[in-house]
Chains A and B, each alone.
Chain A
């Protein structure tokens, strides 16, 4: 039997932009076991809810993550609105859907770039990020921020988007989509990319389900699960088909995300012309009393918000279960038996956002 060695991986690592630490138990270049440790950037956001007015906590909820910021803010608002029994205006629901899909596109494009960076394809990395700028421009023009939208509020949206701007966005999206095809073809067809991704980090359908994988991780292993089917915001009026791949490897997860980008473009093309006229927010009176779990689909997977109010302006309890947190056990499973050189790619394919996981 070969000697076992423990190699520390992270929290500072050249290819891994996320502060997670893994102790990799190695036998002959193969990982036998991975032991994670967390807590490098714990921020105590869940405790802060006791000190902030529940309407102002939206700003903090939005800043749980710097990538899926909008859906965090929106999920928190959605949970509070349900506790308070508010039915937000239709236009707000459609705008929320629009921003959710925009953030899905920009998150997946960013992830594609990071993946290219992880297997050493700098040029592809830059190409992905250049195209992502086009989406960030749309986000900035509609919401005012590039990554922190600042558009969510309890009772609707903080800002309205003029109709002429809504009419202009599809052309901008189409331009990005056309250019994106060439890039995603590289991920799909390129020999070296396939060498790095195909058959690497296998996660079987049963393991994915049993270990509680969420989002593209789960769907790439053949489980058709997507929280958008629950019909929050305006998703009850939009046909969303979960994107499923059967291979369960890194390549499958890449393909799920790529196809989700195009699906989001399609959803946006349906949403933008159909945003109904009307107000975007409503006056809220009183304070939340009761508790609720909200489930939303983030780019990284299903996210859960638990809110418990006691009838005052300060909530009793707020809890977020972020998708990265749910995807850590499947990650540890995937790392067992893989090559040491594949570890960065495998870790990246869960689209880790450790800062979210450590709220």
Chain B
């Protein structure tokens, strides 16, 4: 076993002559890849407040409020697992490739959802809900139900 002197000096001199390996953020940014899991975004127009993402999110980061008609995500709890995107029946969630800017305060991003759920007891004067076409609604209407979906759902897509 032969010991050689100055092996590290050569590596160090090489680093000295090389361009910096780091990126001068925020002036320049590392490119994101198509596959990068950055953050969750919602197309709120398509959402029917079915609560599936809320129930299936492993960290409980999503809170869907049917009475207040909002979809909210706590980005500090979200682990970018992509599960909500996989299970959303209306395909309105997407995993964007870029990261969100760091937060200065702990809060949830609340998105109002312009969806009118069908009334449990339709009043005579009420106009019919325009987008009550989801077959999931009848099933999801049961209050307080926190059951998981059957396991084969997650492998469906």
Chain A residues with a Cβ under 8 A of chain B: 52-56, 59-60, 63, 121, 123-124, 127, 130, 133, 140-145, 148, 150, 153-155, 158-159, 182-183, 185-186, 189-191, 194, 281-285, 287, 313
In the bound assembly, the distance between CA atoms of A154 and B151 in angstroms comes to 10
Is A59 in contact with B81, judged by CB distance below 8 angstroms?
yes
Question: Residue among B2, B37, B148, B151 with the most chain A CB within 10 A?
Answer: B151
Complex Cα spacing A130 to B19, Å? 13
A55–B150 Cα distance when bound, in Å, is 10
* Contact residues, B96-130 vs A (CB, 8 A): none
- Pair A143/B35 contact, Cβ less than 8 Å: yes
Chain B window 12-33, contacts with chain A (Cβ cutoff 8 Å), 1 for yes, 0 for no: 1011000001000000000001
Task: Tell whether, in the assembled complex, residue B80 and residue A145 are in contact, meaning their CB atoms are under 8 Å apart.
Answer: yes
Closest to B151 in A: A55
Contact A153 B154 (CB under 8 A): yes
B138 within 8 A of A: no
A selection of 16 A-B contacts at a CB cut-off of 8 Å is: A56-B56, A56-B148, A56-B154, A59-B81, A124-B11, A127-B11, A141-B35, A144-B33, A145-B37, A153-B154, A190-B4, A190-B8, A191-B3, A194-B1, A284-B152, A284-B155
Provided the pairs A127-B11, A194-B3 are in contact, do residues A55 and B37 lie with their beta carbons within 8 angstroms? no
- List B contacts of A124 (CB < 8 A): 8, 11
Closest 9 CB pairs of A and B: A144-B35, A189-B4, A144-B37, A141-B33, A186-B7, A53-B148, A55-B151, A59-B58, A190-B7
Partner of B151 from A145, A159, A183, A287 at Cβ < 8 Å: A287
Cβ-defined partner of A140 (8 Å) among B15, B36, B155, B156? B36
Interface size on B, residues (CB 8 A): 34
Beta-carbon contact of A182 and B79 below 8 Å:
no
Q: Is there contact, CB below 8 Å, between B21 and A55?
A: no
Chain B: which residue is nearest A134 at the CB level? B21
B70 interface contact, C-beta 8 A: no
Whole-angstrom CA separation of A106 from B21 in the bound complex: 18
In the complex, B82 has a CB within 8 A of chain A? yes
Check B8–A123 contact: CB distance below 8 A: yes
Contacting residues, chain B, for A282 (C-beta < 8 A) = 155
- Tell me if B35 and A159 are in contact (CB < 8 A): yes
Alpha-carbon distance between A191 and B5 when the two chains are bound, in angstroms: 6
Q: Which chain A residues border B10 with CB–CB below 8 Å?
A: 182
Bound Cα distance A278, B82 (Å): 23
Residue of B nearest to A60 (CB): B58
Q: In the complex, what's the smallest C-beta–C-beta distance from A186 to chain B, in angstroms?
A: 5
Q: Is the CB of B21 within 8 A of A130?
A: yes
Whether B3 lies near A190 (C-beta < 8 A) is yes
Query: B152's contact among A56, A121, A283, by CB below 8 Å, is which?
Result: A283
Tell me if B148 and A313 are in contact (CB < 8 A). Answer: yes
Residue of A nearest to B4 (CB): A189
CA–CA, A294 to B27, complex, Å? 48
